[in-house]
Amino acid sequence: MTTPPAEAAPAVIITGGGTGIGRATAHAFAERGARVLIVGRTEATLRETAEGHDGISTVVADITAADGPDLVVEAALRALGGIDVLVNNAATAAFGALGQLDRDLARTQFDTNLCAPIFLTQRALEPLAARGGTVVNVGTAGALGLRSWPNNAVYGASKAALDFLTRSWAVELAPRGIRVVGVAPGVVDTGVGVRAGMPEDAYQGFLKQMADRVPLGRVGRPEEIAWWIVQLTRPEARYANGMVVPIDGALSIT
Ligand SMILES: NC(=O)c1ccc[n+]([C@@H]2O[C@H](COP(=O)([O-])OP(=O)(O)OC[C@H]3O[C@@H](n4cnc5c(N)ncnc54)[C@H](OP(=O)(O)O)[C@@H]3O)[C@@H](O)[C@H]2O)c1
């Protein structure tokens, strides 16, 4: 059995750590003593996340670029000295019915949500294996099981495929001591709609509409997803492998 040496100060990469769930996850790891490298394309938001947290360092990188994985992993090895955890959190979503789908928007979603995690995880394999590390893929509860997602099918397909990678890599990488797990958030108030160009009142209206459909009667908070990501990487979670945990107030089983 590989015993993760993570109890002391795990070294953690989080893509999309400048905002939303990635920011909350960076704070959650840093607050329990981890050293964290956050990745994103916007220096200002990365800096805001890191402010007041000595354990958080930043790297500006586009994870879809050909040199993205090298940039990120080399920065992690320099800043953290190794990799215990890789959180593939960065993603992009562009709603659209099939009839209106634009090729570039479809490509960007698959590049960001699927290809980038593939090649970043591939680049991180050796350091992860050296530490008995964990990969956490952030999917979505909207793409679990046999659900459909009309008018958002490309995003949903990218996340369903990510879950398939989670299960497949869990089996493939287990002999190397690497665990691979997923979390599938429900609707979470991260401000993502506004950042994507929605007027604030329309985004709030969307959140309210969704809250009414969630059995718990509200949408989620970023720190409620972050908590699960941290727990799944803890040494006590070392028998967890290959599963995708829905964290959605039971929305996906209604
Ligand atoms: N919020 C929800 O309701 C919800 C529900 C289900 C699942 N999720 C999933 O949870 C994760 C986080 O969502 P969120 O709501 O926190 O979204 P968010 O705030 O938009 O975070 C996405 C992050 O990814 C980064 N990113 C996007 N493209 C990138 C690229 N090419 N290279 C590097 N970084 C990139 C963005 O930073 P830059 O633009 O600065 O690069 C941003 O910080 C995503 O995987 C999302 O699909 C969210």
Average pLDDT value for the chain: 96
Cα angle value 77/83/86 (rounded, 5°): 120
3 state SS of 136: strand
This prediction has a pTM of 0.97
* 254 domain residue, yes or no: no
Q: Where does ligand 1 bind, in terms of residues with CB under 6 Å?
A: 15-16, 18-22, 39-42, 45, 62-64, 89-92, 112, 138, 140, 185, 187-188, 190, 192, 195
Q: Per the domain annotation, does 201 fall within a domain?
A: no
Q: What is the pLDDT of residue 25?
A: 99
Q: Which of 116, 134, 155, 182 is catalytic?
A: 155
- Sequence-distant (6+) residues with CB within 8 A of 113 are 91, 92, 155, 158, 159, 162
Q: What is the pLDDT of residues 66-93, one digit of tens each?
A: 999 999 999 999 999 999 999 999 999 9
Q: Report pLDDT for 8.
A: 74
Q: Give the pLDDT band (50/70/90) at residue 130.
A: very high
What is the arithmetic mean of pLDDT over 196-211?
95
Q: What is the pLDDT of residue 7?
A: 58
User: Is 90 part of any domain?
Assistant: yes
Closest CA to 27 of 252, 179, 237, 224: 224
- Give the pLDDT mean for 206-222: 98
From the alpha carbon of 111, which atom of ligand 1 is closest?
31
- 215 domain-assigned: no
Strand stretches in the chain, DSSP E: 11-15, 35-40, 56-60, 85-88, 134-138, 179-185, 244-247
User: Among residues of the chain, what percentage have pLDDT more than 90?
Assistant: 94
Name the domain count of the chain: 1
* Domain of residue 63, residue span: 5-185+220-247
Atom number in ligand 1 closest to CA 15: 34
- pLDDT value of position 2: 52
- Of residues 8, 6, 229, the one with CA closest to residue 136: 229
Share of the chain above pLDDT 70, in %: 97
Ligand 1, atom 34, lies closest to the CA of 40
Q: Does any domain span residue 235? A: yes
The domain that holds 61 is classified in CATH as 3.40.50.720
Q: Which amino acid is at 162?
A: L
Tell me the average pLDDT across 200-226: 98
In a domain, 192, yes or no: no
User: Is 198 a domain residue?
Assistant: no
pLDDT of 6 reads 44
Number of H-type helices and E-type strands within the chain? 9, 7
Angle 148-203-187 from CA coordinates, rounded to 5° = 45
In a domain, 120, yes or no: yes
> Tokens 């979503």 identify what position?
93
With 80 as the cut, is the pLDDT of residue 176 above it? yes
